[in-house]
Amino acid sequence: METMTNAITIEKSKTSKIHDVDFENLSFGSTYTDHMLVCDYVDGAWQTPKIIPYQPITLEPSAKIFHYGQSIFEGMKAYKDEAGKAWLFRPLENHKRLNKSAERLAIPELPESFFIEGLTTLLQLEKDWIPETPGSSLYIRPFILASGTGFHASPADAYKFIIACAPSGSYFSGKVRVLIEEKYSRSANGGVGYAKAGGNYAGQFYPTQLAIEKGYNQVIWTDDNNHEYIEEAGAMNIFARINDTLITGPTSDRILDGITRKSILEIAKDEGIDTEVRNITVNEVVQAAKDGTLKEMFGAGTAAVISPIAGFGYKGVDYDLPELSESYATRLKKRITDIQYNRAEDKFGWRYEV
């Protein structure tokens, strides 16, 4: 593992914004902490990270991020337990996926030590920003953008790695209704769907807005070929429970290898829940909704953890899902969040103390 040759420098903010924040009423990702981490890639190498006051960044108009979209990111959270200790959830998986995305977008890979040491140093400085309100957490956004300049269509020669943080409440509230997409695609075979590239999300906004105008909250994405298979739910992986079997699609060029997704599969196995990782057709889901064997569906991702789906629309018909007193979604979410907030045993070794 490559290690940093110099210690991370810290420039502390002269004043703090923390006293202006209502931690009991946090929206998601719109209030930012006092500091951020910045690390530049220049002259063929990542330089020593530094922590500075949260502030705007300056880029030239010719920076390649603006023209060719070389941008990747991760989503993580820090949690505080009842004793005031701070925890991360599977951070090494985020680092691995960041580099997987970097490789696909021709961005230099970031050494593990830069990611983990930079992140933990930042969180130790910002520990008071981790909310203690139940259900709240400190959302963490590591990202890399192309800062190198030039209008030539080629990879940049300079990049910025930044970590910014935002104390946040719940991502979703209330019942989520989704529309199964019949025209637009999130990604394609051979594409960048498996990477957390910024452009993947930009391309989702328009179809999602069309769904919102029809009264839905999100889109269920289908394959790019015949729109035959269920793939993702908005910006999350998707699970369907037919009878007592929990089903999710396999990861591929098109589907993100979600950390919450893989955690759900491991916990479900530990709970004795039957799981299947396979292609699931739209027709199968519709038929199961018609005959009553579709017990539940939910999205899974870092921001929401698990977001139950109350119903879906397809070809002009709406299908309601039953309200279960003991759902897999509730059961699995409790297992994951109990680990994240250090309320239960972590038999998987996922919890990481800051």
- The residue ranges of every structural domain in the chain are 9-168, 176-340
pLDDT of 161 reads 98
Distance CA 130, CA 26 (A): 12
The reported pLDDT for the residue numbered 103 is 98
Q: Which two tokens stand for residue 60?
A: 């030239």
Q: To 10 degrees, what angle do helices 91-104 and 259-271 make?
A: 140
Give the helix ranges, DSSP H, for 69-178.
91-104, 112-125
Domain 176-340 has CATH 3.20.10.10: yes
Residue 83's pLDDT is what?
Answer: 95
Please name every residue paired with 38 in a beta bridge, in sequence order, or none if there are none.
50, 162
Amino acid 175: pLDDT? 77
pLDDT of residue 202: 95
Burial code (b: 16+ CB inside 10 Å, e: under 16) for 119-147 equals bbbbbebbeebbbeeeebbbbbbbbbbbb
Crossing angle of helices 112-125 and 91-104, in 10° steps, is 130
Mean pLDDT of 153-172: 93
The fraction of the chain above a pLDDT of 90, given in percent, is 94
183-196 pLDDT, tens digit each: 999 999 999 999 99
Average pLDDT over residues 5-23: 93
Mean pLDDT of 73-81: 97
Element (H, E) at 201: helix 198-213
| Distance separating alpha carbons of residues 42 and 23, to the nearest angstrom | 39
Task: Decide: 331 and 352 in contact? Cβ < 8 Å.
Answer: no
323's CB contacts (< 8 A; 6+ apart) are none
The alpha carbons of the chain give a radius of gyration, in whole angstroms, of 21
pLDDT of residue 173: 62
pLDDT at 1 over 70: no
For 30, 89, 96, 203, 251, the CA distances from 79, given in Å and listed in that order, are 18, 8, 21, 31, 28
| Tens digits of residue pLDDT in 106-130 | 999 999 999 999 999 999 999 999 9
Q: How many residues does the chain have?
A: 354
Q: Could you give the 3-state DSSP secondary structure of residue 147?
A: coil
For the residues 312-336, what does the mean pLDDT come to? 96
Q: What is the CATH number of domain 9-168?
A: 3.30.470.10
What tokens does 335 get?
Answer: 């297992």
**3-class secondary structure, 272:** coil
The answer to whether the beta carbons of residues 354 and 78 sit under 8 Å apart is yes
- Residue 18 DSSP label: G
pLDDT at residue number 6:
78
Which residue from 44, 38, 42, 41 is spatially nearest to 57, judged by alpha carbons?
Answer: 38
Alpha helix (H) residue ranges in 69-166: 91-104, 112-125
Contacts of 114 (CB under 8 A, 6+ apart): 2, 4, 39, 46, 49, 161
Query: Residues 208-216: what's their mean pLDDT?
Result: 97
Q: Is the pLDDT of residue 174 over 80?
A: no
Average pLDDT, the chain: 95
pLDDT of residue 135: 87
Q: What is the pLDDT of residue 170?
A: 78
315-323 average pLDDT score: 96
